[in-house]
Structure 1
Amino acid sequence: MFVGENLTDIRLLHGYSRNELAKLVNVSEQSIWQYENNYNGPRLEIVNKFKELFDVKTKYFYEEKTCKTEFDPSLLVYRSKEINSVVKTKYEATHLEFIEGFINLLEGYIAFPENRLVKIRDYCVQFIVEASERFDRTEIIQYIAEYARKELQLGNDNQKLLFSLEKNGVFVFEKFLGEDIDAYSTWSKKDKPILILGTAKKSSVRRNFDLAHELGHLLLHYKMDLSELTKSE
């Protein structure tokens, strides 16, 4: 039996709207909606078009998947003109669901580094709560930056920031996010810190800036609705 959710997932992973996909396989947008919601199954001819378009085997569309989790789209934000794009956020949330599912699968075979960042985060959250009435925002951020640098053993520069983040349990991935998105990061429901770097800007200086910026998000904005943050925040 055709599994409509599988079509939805792979469509979102490739960044297509229902209308765009419909045009690519020469059916109506309503037909795509019916396929995805299991009201009607596509003919084999259409399934073959999906298979070729997405470069998957036919059985992908007929098997229930287990390599997938759930992400809250409100916890994602980008430094770009697409910051409020609901569609873009939905695409990236789907991507993260599969990333964490893949990580969970690998954990059965690979011993990943201890997730020390969650301990650093919890300390920072507690400090913010206790210090919010005694220090201003700039002082709090400065203290947390110094604390994180010490705990991550970064020394006086960020040259080994990527190595240090991964060593302390952060899962860092690269993908094309568009020309205007640098990076984003989030915590999964199982407290896995995941950081996605865009591939459009490749200088080491820019990459280290993005890593440091996203580290700040992971430590300062835990469980916040990031869509409500201002650009300065």
Structure 2
Amino acid sequence: MEHARFNPSKLKKARIARGLTKKELAERTGISRQMVSNYELGKTQPGATNLLAIVSELNFPYNYFTSENKGFYEGATFFRSQSAATKRTRDMQAVRLEFQKEIYDFLSRYVNFPKLTLPETLMKNIYDITNEDIENKAAELRKCWGLGENLPIANLIESAEVHGVIVVESTMSDDTLDAVSEWIEDRPFIMLTDNGESAVRRRFNVAHELGHILLHGDVESIHDYTPQELKNVIEKQAHYFASCLLLPEKGFLDSLLSTNLDFYIELKKRWKVSIQAMVMRTFQLELISEDQRLYLFRRIAYNKWKKKEPLDDEMSVEKPSLYRKVFELIVNNDILQKNEILSYLSLPQDELEKSLDVSIATDETIVQKAPTLRIIK
């Protein structure tokens, strides 16, 4: 009987997904660093004892390491908080985003996902993109999704999912990363991190990633740009898009009866946008001067609102639900059993629970195949 062959590239991805270097994995498993490197290069295959140690430490199902690579076309990957994020955390997110594509590919065999409806992506050099381009693209998205020209958006994640954007959560918790987005084949994916972020921060993050999706079609790789270009041009453009999308000019101006901070608290209830973002939008619309903007931000700092604002504990955080609904549709219609789906996907239990928003009970835990051990005669 032929046994499944170890896939070296899967070991590398699993290690990166857990945020470990080769040295760290070696130390945790008692395997030499050189041997870990050889495994990842495919120079040699791990024996049963070492493979069990790797499976246990990385907490991936055994059959993940024997599954085939799934190739697909990927566009540029955009990360929030570029300046603070390390290469390790960005690599972790990039690998986990691939997991989301694998989940999507499997689920879409059984259920038709919503048709993707988006305005045409802008194909311009980043230095040729104007504020008018950004404003027009935000207005186009509002019209395309039927959000109204000047109204607050009730639930941005739900609107994105209804119109075919895949929004998911990951188990990653890292204060230097908020969200990541990428076109993978014919779908845009937005992956959120598990940072306990406020409702308004999450909405702005999603709007920001939609900005990348619609504005930066000409960007092939973020590695083609300097950190300064990423921060001062690309990220700034996505930021401005988020402001225009969440706070449309006429609607926001009509509601802005005062620039007193107490009034911004009331506005926050209506627009579900942070006080700081609304102050910036007020400045962008030239309703306050630079000195007034600085004064308001000094007051925000004095009130200790930079990280936590009034109402942050009271507003409900939007959550993705599309994957869970598709999962439940398949299971409830007896197309596949829960464990069949989870076992086939060959991904870590914690990641599947978070991505699919389902709980895997103890008695329903995925049965993980173990290496076959045979006595050599």
**Could you state the TM-score of these two structures normalised by the residue count of structure 1?**
0.83
* Aligned AA (1:207): R
Does the Cα contact within 8 Å between 1:76 and 1:89 map onto a contact in 2?
A: no
Report the identity percentage: 27
* Aligned AA (1:81): S
Q: What's the offset of the Cα at 1:54?
A: 2.6
> Which residue in the other structure is 1:98 paired with?
99
Task: Decide which moves more: 160-169 or 38-47.
Answer: 38-47
Matches within 5 A, 1:142-157: 142-155=135-148, 156-157=151-152
Taking a change above 3 Å as real, the CA distance of residues 56 and 230 of structure 1, as seen in their structure-2 partners, is closer
The C-alpha deviation readout for 1:194-230, integer Å capped at 9, x for no partner, is 0011221432111111111111111001141334233
* Aligned AA (2:106): L
Could you tell me how far apart the structure 1 residues matched to 2:139 and 2:83 are?
31
> Which residue in the other structure is 1:173 paired with?
168
> Which residue in the other structure is 2:217 paired with?
222
Does the Cα contact within 8 Å between 2:8 and 2:42 map onto a contact in 1?
A: yes
Could you tell me how far apart the structure 2 residues matched to 1:102 and 1:158 are?
28
Q: Is 1:164 paired with 2:167?
A: no
Taking a change above 3 Å as real, the CA distance of residues 97 and 167 of structure 1, as seen in their structure-2 partners, is same
- Structure ID, larger Rg: 2
Does the Cα contact within 8 Å between 2:22 and 2:37 map onto a contact in 1?
A: yes
Could you tell me how far apart the structure 1 residues matched to 2:18 and 2:60 are?
12
Count of paired positions: 219
Does the Cα contact within 8 Å between 1:67 and 1:102 map onto a contact in 2?
A: no
Q: CA RMSD of the aligned region, Å? A: 2.3
Does the Cα contact within 8 Å between 1:158 and 1:208 map onto a contact in 2?
A: no
Taking a change above 3 Å as real, the CA distance of residues 9 and 65 of structure 1, as seen in their structure-2 partners, is same
Does the Cα contact within 8 Å between 2:117 and 2:144 map onto a contact in 1?
A: no
Does the Cα contact within 8 Å between 2:179 and 2:205 map onto a contact in 1?
A: yes
171, 188, 197: which one aligns with 1:193 = 188
Q: Which runs of 5+ in 2 are unaligned?
A: 238-377
* Aligned AA (2:67): E
* Aligned AA (1:154): L
Could you tell me how far apart the structure 2 residues matched to 1:198 and 1:59 are?
26
Taking a change above 3 Å as real, the CA distance of residues 144 and 163 of structure 1, as seen in their structure-2 partners, is same
> Which residue in the other structure is 1:33 paired with?
37
Does the Cα contact within 8 Å between 1:154 and 1:161 map onto a contact in 2?
A: no
The C-alpha deviation readout for 1:60-82, integer Å capped at 9, x for no partner, is 43x2325554545x533332434
Taking a change above 3 Å as real, the CA distance of residues 16 and 68 of structure 1, as seen in their structure-2 partners, is farther
Does the Cα contact within 8 Å between 2:114 and 2:161 map onto a contact in 1?
A: yes
Q: Is 1:140 paired with 2:133?
A: yes
Q: Is 1:125 paired with 2:126?
A: no
**Could you state the TM-score of these two structures normalised by the residue count of structure 2?**
0.53
Does the Cα contact within 8 Å between 1:68 and 1:97 map onto a contact in 2?
A: no
Q: What's the offset of the Cα at 1:147?
A: 1.5
Matches within 5 A, 1:33-72: 33-61=37-65, 63-67=66-70, 69=72, 71=74
> Which residue in the other structure is 1:79 paired with?
81
Does the Cα contact within 8 Å between 2:77 and 2:222 map onto a contact in 1?
A: yes
Could you tell me how far apart the structure 1 residues matched to 2:146 and 2:22 are?
47
Does the Cα contact within 8 Å between 1:159 and 1:208 map onto a contact in 2?
A: no
* Aligned AA (2:214): L
